[in-house]
Structure 1
Amino acid sequence: MSDNLSELISTPLLPLRPDWQSPAHKRAAEHARALHAEDPDKYWEWVGRQQRWQRPWSTLREGELGDFTYYAGGSINVADNCVDRWAEDPRTRDKPAIIWEGEPGDSRTVTYAELADEVGRLAAGLSAVGVRRGDVVAIYLPNTVEAFVAVHACNRIGAIYTILFSGFSEEAVRSRLEQAEPKAVVVADASYRRGREVPLLDTLRAARASLPQQPVTIVLDRTGNARALTADETGYAELLAAQVEPAPMAEMDPNEPAFLIFTSGTSARPKGVVHSVAGFLVGTWANVRWQVGPEDDDVYWVAADVGWLTFPIQAVVGGLANGMTIVCYEGALDAPTPDRFYRICEKYGVTKLLAAPTVLRMLRGLGDALNDAHPLPQLELVTVQGEPLDSETFTWTNLHLGGGVPVVNAYGQTETGSTWTYPIHGVDSLKAGSVGTPVPGHTCAVVDDAGREVPAGVKGNLVITRPLPTLARSVWRDPARYTETYFTRFPGWYATSDEAVVDADGHLWVLGRSDDVINIAAHRISTMEIEEVVGSVAGVLEAAVVGIPDATRGTVPVAFVRLAAAAPADTVETIIAAAPGQLGKYVQLADVFVVDQLPRTRTGKTMRRLLRDVAAEGRTSGDTSAVEDLAVLEQIVTVVRDSKRKAEENK
C-alpha cells in the first residue's frame, strides 16, 4: 500500500456534534443492527413489516446470490406504499409530497392526496390506451411532477417502467426503445436546460421512426406551446381528464419486475438491469431511513436527474415511501445565475440535501463570498453518492455549507438498487472520504484476485457476500449476461468490479472501478489515490485521473484539471511534482491537461471512461449518450490533440 493511501485511510474519525445527533434514530439503528447481528434476514423481515402488504408473505427468502427471492407468497403494490398509504391518512393527506420548480421559475406544490388522484387517473389512462400488467412503459421526462406520477401509475397497474434520461440523443433513445419494446411512452414536448429548450418530442419521433412496433405516445405540454400531435399521440392532460375512476390497485408478486434501467458502458449497447417490486421498495425505504433520517418537518431536495437511479431511490420511491416532502428542480443548479442552488434552498426551506460530489465541488468553486451570503440556517444534512468524494470538498462542506453540516458519503451501484454502506445519519461518526460501514442487511468482503479475504489496510476487490432484496435480479431478456457479468469471477458472491480497502476503524474506502486501478511498471495504484494528491494542490478546483497504455511502463496516469482563476502560474508544474513526491517516483504523470469543464452526466458524475478514451486515442469510443454537454467533450478533445501536437513539434 502506498504511503499516501495509508495516510488517507488513517484520517481521524469526526465525532458528531451534539446538535447533529439523534437519540431516537440511534435507538432505531441499534435495534436494526441487533437484528442484523442475529441474522441479516431477520433485519429484512423487520423492514418488510414496515410496509403495507395486500397479502402477507409465506417465505422470507429462498435461494442464494445469482438466483433468489424475497417475501414469496405475498402481494404488495409500490404505489400503494408510496402514495395511497399517505393520502388515506388524515395526518398526511394534505402534506406536500412534491415541491417542484422549473428552470424558468414556474413552480407547483402537490399534496399526497393530489398525487394519489393524478396517479390513479394516469394509471387508468395507461390502461385505456392498452397498457397491461407486464407491459413496458418508457418515461422520457425531465424532472417534473409528472415523472413521479408516471412511475407510480405504472406501479399501480403492474406495468414495467424504464426511465430514459432527458438528455439522451436520438440514437440513445432508439437503442433503449429497441431493447425495451415499450407499449407506451410518456414524453414532454420539451424541457428547459440553461435557458434553452431541449426538444424531447422531436427526438422521440425521430428515434421511434424505425421501430417495427410504434408505441402509444402520451405527450406532456411542458412549454405551453400546444404542439400538434400525430395520430398515435395523445395529450397527457386530455388523457387524465377523460378518466372518471382511478385504475384498480394491482396485487403484485414481490419478485415480479418493477422496472428496467439501462446502464451505459464501453459497448455501444447498454444492458437493461431488472429490479423487483418489493425488493426495490424495501431497499429504498431502508436506504432513505438510515442515510437521510426522515423527520416529519423535513424538506428533502434530491438534486439529481430522474434519469439517474439515485432519483427513484431517494425521491420517487424511497423518499415517498417514508412520507417525505421532496423538492424537485428541473434545470441546471447554476442557471440562470450562480446563486440558483442557494436560492432554491432558501425559498423552500430545504433541511436535507442529496447530490453528487461534483455539486459540492461546484459550490466550493463558486467561492466563499457567495456561500457566506446564503447561510442556509435550516440545512441539517448533506449526503452524496455516485462518485468518490475528495477530502478537501468534504472538509469545505462540513465547515462552511449551511454554517457547517454533517456530510454522509454513501456508496452503491445501479445493480444494488440503493446505497448500502455509509455512516448512519445522526448516529455514526464521519470520516472524510470514506463510505462508512455497511448498514444492516448488507455484508461484504474485500478479497484478492483468488477470492481470499485481505486484512485491513490492504486493497482488494469488493464483493457482496449475501443476498439482499434490492439487488438486481436479471438483465432484460439476457439472464446469461447477468450471471456472467456479476457472479462468475467470484462464484457465490456478487462482484462489484470496484476496488476497496477497509481501514483500522472498519470504515470502507471504495477506490474506484477495478479497471481504474492501474499498473505502473508492476506497481498497482488506484487513480483515486493520485486524484487525492492532485486535488490537494493549491489552485486546483477539480481533478480526474485516468490511466492510459504505455509501451515502456504498461500504464501511465494522466490528469485533467480545472483551475481556479487565481491559481498560481506554476500550478501544472506543482501538480507534476506532487504525484511522485507524495506517492513514489514511479507515479509520474504523463500529462496534465487544463480544461474549462469535465464531461459529466446531467447529475454531475464525471465520466472518467470518456477521459481515458480521449487521453489514449484522441477521441471517444463507446456510449456517450449520458454526457450532458457534448461541446465540453469536444473542447477536451481539442485540448488533448493540441497538447500532443505541440509535444511532437518540440521533439
Structure 2
Amino acid sequence: MSDNLTALIAAELLPLRPEWISPQYQDEAAEARALDAQDPDLYWEWVAARQRWQRPWTTLRRGELGDFEYYVGGRINVADNCVDRWAEDPVVRDRPAVIWEGEPGDTRTVTYAELADQVGRLAAGLLELGVRRGDVVAIYLPNTIEAFVAVHACNRIGAVYTILFSGFSEEATRSRLEQAEAKVVIVADGSYRRGRVVPLLETLRAARASLSVQPTTIVFDRTGSGPVLTSGEVDYDRLVRAQTEWAPMEEMDPNEPAFLIFTSGTSAKPKGVVHSVGGFLVGTWANAHWQVGPEDGDVYWVAADVGWLTFPIQAVVGGLANGMTVLCYEGALDTPTDERFFEVCEKHGVTKVLAAPTVLRVLRGVDPDKRAAHPLPALKLVTAQGEPLDSETFTWAMEGLGAGVPVINAYGQTETGSTWTYPIYGVDALKAGSAGTPVPGHACAVVDAEGRPVPAGVKGDLVITRPFPTLARTVWKDPQRYRDAYFSRFPGVYATHDEAVVDGEGHLWVLGRSDDVINIAAHRISTMEIEEVVGSVPGVLEAAVVGVPDATKGTVPVAFVRLGQGAPADTEEAILAAVPRELGRYVQLATVYVAGALPRTRTGKTMRRLLRDVAATGRATGDTSAVEDVAVLDDIIALVSKPATTQEAEA
C-alpha cells in the first residue's frame, strides 16, 4: 500500500457532537440494523411497510444478482406515495412541497395539495396526447417545479420517463431520444445559466429533425418569451389548464420500468439504465431517510441538476416520499456573485443541503469575509456525493458552513439508484473523506483481480454481493449489455468498476474509477465518448482521452492526439471547440497534447493508464514493461512538460 493511501485511511474517527445526535434515528437505526443482521430482506420488508401499497406483495424477493425482483405480486404507484398521500393528509397538505428560485431571482412555491393538482392535470394531458403505460416520455427541463410535475405525471399513468440533462448538446440529445424512442418530449423554451438563456427548445428542434419518428413536444415557456410553436408542439400551460379531471392512478407492478437514465460506459454509446417502480421508491425513501434524517421544519436543498440522478433520488422521489419541503434552484451558484449559495440558504431558511464535493471546493474558495457575512445559523447538515470527497474539503465544510455541522459523505452510482454506504445522520461517527459503512440492506466486498476478497488496508475492486431494490434491473432494450457490463468481470457479484479500500474499522474509501469513465463535476462520461468527438475532427488520426485530477471539478479530461500530414493549422482549436459543442458545455478539454505517437502495448492497445499518469504527475508511475517502444513514452513525458493548447473549463 502506498504512503499516500496509508495516510488517507488513517483518519481519526470523529464522534458525534451532542447537538448532532438524533434520538429518533438512533432508535430506528438500531431496529433496522438488528433486522439486517438477522436477514437483509427483513429490513427491506420494514422499509416497504412505510409506503402506501395498492395491493400487498406475496413474495418479498425472488432471484439473485443479475435477475431479481422485489415485492412480487404487489401493486404500488410512485406518484401516490410522493404526492397524493401527503396531499390527502390534513397536517401535510398545505406544507410547501417545492420552493423554487430561478437564477434571475424569481420564486414560486407549491404545496403538496397544489402539486397533486398539477400532477393529475398534466398526467391527463399526457393521456390526451396518446401516452400510455410503458410509453417513454423525455423530460428536457432545467431545475423547475415543472420537472417535479412531469416526473410524477409519468409515474401516475405508468409512462417511462427519461430525464435529459439540460446541458446536453444537439447530438447528445438526439442520440438519447433515438435510443429511448420517446413518444413525447417535455421541454422548456430556455433556462438561465450564468446570466444567459440556454436555448433548450432550439436545441431540441435541431436534435429531433433527423429522428425517424417525431415525438410530440410539450413546450413550457420558462423565460416568458412566448415562443411561436410549430407543427407537433403544444403549450404546456394550455394543456394543463384544459384538463378538468385528474388522470386515474395506475396500479403498477413494483418491478415494471419506472424510468431510464443514460450513463456513459466504457464504450462510446451511452447505456439506458432501467430502474424499477417499487424498487426505486422504496430504496430512495430509505436513502433520504438515513442520509438526511427528515425532521419537522426542514428545508432540504439538493444543489444539483435534475439531470443528475442524485436529484430524483434525493429530491423528486426520495425527498417527497418522506414528505419533506425541497428547495429547487435553477442556475449557477456563483451568479451574479459567488455569494449566491449563501444568499439562497438565508432567503429560504435551508436546514440541510446536498452538493457534489466540487460545490464545496468552490465555496471554500469564496473570500472568507464574504462567508463570514453569511453565518447560516439554520443549517444543520451538509451531505456530499457524486465523486470522492477529500479530507481537507470535509474538514473545512464541517467548520466553515453553518455553526459547525456534520458532513455526511455518501457513495453510490447511477446504476445503484441510491447511495448505499455513508454514516447515518444523527447516529454514526464520521471520518474525513470516508464513505462510512454500508447502510442496512446492502453488502459489498473489495476484491483482487481474481475476485478474491482482500484484507483491510489493501486496495482492490469494489463489488456488491447481494441484490437490493434500487439496483438497476437492465439496460434499455439490451439486456445482454447489462449482464456484460456489470456481471461478467466477477461472476455472481455486481462490479462497480471503482477501486476502493476498507480500513481497519470497516470504513469504506472509494478511490475512483477503475475503467475509463470519469467524473466531471459529478457528471459521469466515458472517455471513449469524448474520443469519438475528438477523432471526428478533420486532421485527427488517433486520440486518447484520460481524466486527471482538478482542484475544483474533481476530474477534467485531457486529450492526446496524433495528427495526419496536412492537418489544418487550427486543428487543436477545432478539437477544443468540438467537444463542448457535441457533448455539452460541461465537457471541456483542459489540454490537448499533439504527439508524434502514442504509447502502445505489443498487442497494439493504447496505454491510457500511462497517459493518465503522465498527464497527472509528469512521469510514468505505473508498470511500463508492456510498452512496445519506451522512447515514445519518453517523448510523451517531454511533451507534457511543455506549454500546450488549453482551455479553461467552465464550472
For Structure 1 versus Structure 2, the TM-score category normalised by the shorter chain is: 0.7 to 0.9
**Alignment-derived partner of residue 394 in structure 1:** 394
Report if the CA contact (8 A) 2:561-2:593 is conserved: no
SS in 1 for 2:182: coil
CA contact (8 A) 2:169 2:584 kept: no
Relative to structure 1, the CA distance from residue 66 to residue 292 in structure 2 (aligned partners, 3 Å threshold; closer, same or farther) is: same
Q: 1:634 and 1:255, CA in 2 relative to 1: closer, same or farther beyond 3 A?
A: closer
| Deviation readout 1:341-400 (Å, 9 max, x if unpaired) | 000000000000000000000000113222111000000000000000011101111112
Alignment deviations for residues 228-248 of structure 1 (CA, whole Å, 9 cap, x no partner) = 101210000000111000000
- 1:456 maps to 456
Native 8 Å contact 2:560 2:593 kept in 1:
no
Q: CA deviation at 1:620?
A: 7.6
Alignment-derived partner of residue 145 in structure 1: 145
* Distance across 1 between alignment mates of 2:472 and 2:258: 11
Residue 95 of structure 1: aligned partner: 95
- SS of the aligned residue for 1:142 comes to coil
Q: What is residue 112 of structure 1 aligned with on the other side?
A: 112
Residue in 2 aligned with 1:569? none
Runs of at least 5 residues in structure 1 that lack an aligned partner in the other structure: 518-526, 529-545, 547-554, 563-597, 601-605
CA distance in 2, matches of 1:232, 1:77: 30
Deviation at 1:629, TM superposition (A): 3.2
Change (3 A) 1:132 1:501: same
CA contact (8 A) 2:549 2:555 kept: no
1:647 to 610, 628, 642: 642
Report the alpha carbon displacement of residue 445 of structure 1 after superposing the two structures with TM: 0.6
Pair 1:503–1:216, CA change in 2 (3 A): same
Q: Note the C-alpha offset of 1:623.
A: 7.9
Aligned to 1:629: 585
- Cα distance in 2 for partners of 1:178, 1:35 equals 44
Partner of 2:245: 245
Mapped to 1, the partners of 2:32 and 2:562 lie a distance apart of: 48
| SS in structure 2 at match of 1:315 | helix
How far is 1:294 from its partner?
Answer: 0.3
Question: What secondary structure is seen at the aligned counterpart in 2 of 1:323?
Answer: coil
Q: Is the 8 A contact 1:264 1:623 kept in 2?
A: no
Corresponding position of 1:381? 381
1:143 and 1:386 map into 2 onto residues whose CA distance is 18
Cα distance in 1, alignment partners of residues 165 and 550 from structure 2: 27
* Post-superposition CA distance 1:434-462 (Å, at most 9, x none): 00000000000111111111111111111
Q: Return the alpha-carbon distance in structure 2 between the equivalents of residues 39 and 646 of structure 1.
A: 56
Q: How does 1:325-336 map to 2 (within 5 A)?
A: 325-336=325-336
Match of 2:162 in 1: 162
Aligned to 1:185: 185
Q: Residues 464-613 of structure 1: matches in 2 within 5 Å?
A: 464-515=464-515, 606-608=554-556, 610-611=557-558, 613=559
Superposition map of 1:342-491 within 5 A: 342-491=342-491
Measured in 1, the distance between the counterparts of 2:403 and 2:560 equals 40
Matched, 1:56 2:64: no
* Distance apart, 1:171 and its partner CA: 0.2
Return the alpha-carbon distance in structure 1 between the equivalents of residues 431 and 416 of structure 2: 23
* 1:520 corresponding residue in structure 2: none
Q: Is the contact between residue 174 and residue 207 of structure 2 (CA under 8 Å) also seen in structure 1?
A: yes
| Equivalent-residue separation in structure 1 for 2:36 and 2:579 (angstroms) | 40
C-alpha distance in structure 2 between counterparts of 1:27 and 1:223, whole Å: 48
Alpha-carbon distance, 1:628 to partner: 5.9
Structure 1 CA distance for aligned equivalents of residues 68 and 577 of structure 2: 36
Match of 1:12 in 2: 12
Shifted more, 120-129 versus 453-462: the winner is 453-462
Q: Percent identity?
A: 71
- Whichever residue aligns with residue 235 of structure 1, its letter is D
CA distance in 2, matches of 1:98, 1:274: 26
Distance in 1 (CA, whole Å) between partners of 2:12 and 2:641 is 45
Q: CA deviation at 1:403?
A: 2.3
Instruction: Report the equivalent of 2:171.
Output: 171
Asked if the contact 1:410/1:421 (under 8 Å) is kept, the reply is yes
Alpha-carbon distance in structure 1 between the residues aligned to 2:196 and 2:65: 46
Q: Is contact 1:267-1:622 (8 Å) kept?
A: no
Matched letter for residue 168 of structure 1: F
| 1:9-48 pair list within 5 angstroms | 9-48=9-48
Counterpart CA distance in 2 for 1:436 and 1:626 is 38
User: Within 1, Cα distance between the matches of 2:459 and 2:591?
Assistant: 32
Contact kept? 2:172, 2:583, Cα under 8 Å: no
Using the alignment, how far apart are the partners of 1:66 and 1:622 within structure 2? 38
Q: CA–CA distance in 1 between the matches of 2:589 and 2:506? A: 42
Moved more, 217-226 or 615-624: 615-624
- Contact kept in structure 2, 1:375 and 1:401, CA below 8 Å: yes
CA distance in 2, matches of 1:607, 1:235: 40
Contact 1:268 1:623 in 2 (8 A): no
Deviation at 1:4, TM superposition (A): 2.0
The match for 2:202 is 202
Deviation of 1:6 (Å)? 1.2
Is the CA contact (8 Å cut-off) linking 1:379 and 1:402 kept in structure 2?
yes
Partners of 1:371 and 1:289 in 2: CA distance: 30
Deviation of residue 173 (structure 1)?
A: 0.4
Distance 1:491-1:310 versus aligned 2 partners, 3 A rule: same
CA shift in 2, pair 1:626/1:404, >3 Å: farther
RMSD: 2.6
State the Cα distance separating 1:515 from its structure 2 match.
3.1
8 Å contact from structure 2 (residues 164, 307) kept in 1: yes
Is 1:267–1:623's contact at 8 Å kept on the other side of the alignment? no
Change (3 A) 1:645 1:481: closer
Give the equivalent residue in structure 1 for 2:132.
132
Note if contact 2:415-2:472 (Cα within 8 Å) is conserved in structure 1. yes
What does residue 580 of structure 1 align with?
A: none
Instruction: Summarize the Cα distance change of 1:499–1:559 in structure 2 as closer, same or farther, 3 Å threshold.
Output: closer
Amino acid in structure 2 at the alignment position of 1:647: K
Once the two structures are superposed, residues 394-432 of structure 1 have per-residue CA deviations (whole angstroms, 9 ceiling, x without a partner) of 111111211221100000000000000000010000000
Point out the more displaced range, 256-265 or 112-121. Answer: 256-265
Structure 1 match to 2:632 = none
Q: CA deviation at 1:267?
A: 3.4
Deviation at 1:3, TM superposition (A): 1.9
DSSP 3-state at the match of 1:374: coil
Shift of 1:338: 0.9
Q: Return 613-622 or 482-491, whichever deviates more.
A: 613-622
Distance in 2 between residues matched to 1:70 and 1:470, nearest whole Å? 10
Q: What is the CA–CA distance in structure 2 between the aligned matches of 1:645 and 1:495, rounded to whole Å?
A: 33
Deviations 1:121-177 (A, max 9, x none): 000000000000000000000000000000000000000000000010000000001
Query: What SS is found at the alignment partner of 1:420?
Result: strand
* Counterpart residue type for residue 588 of structure 2: L
CA deviation profile, 1:553-592 (whole Å, cap 9, x unmatched): xx9x996655xxxxxxxxxxxxxxxxxxxxxxxxxxxxxx
Aligned residues: 570
1:646–1:394 distance in 2 versus 1, CA, 3 Å: closer
- Cα distance 1:278–1:49, how it changes in 2: closer, same or farther (>3 A)? same
Shift, 1:625, TM fit: 7.8
1:257 corresponds in structure 2 to 257
CA distance in 2, matches of 1:129, 1:368: 53
1:122 is matched with which residue? 122
Distance change (3 Å), C-alpha of 1:626 and 1:427 = farther
The code of the aligned residue for 2:120 comes to G
Aligned-pair distance for 1:266?
4.8
Return the alpha-carbon distance in structure 1 between the equivalents of residues 118 and 383 of structure 2.
30
1:123 aligned counterpart, secondary structure: helix
1-structure distance, mates of 2:515, 2:258: 31
Partner amino acid, structure 2, of 1:633:
Q
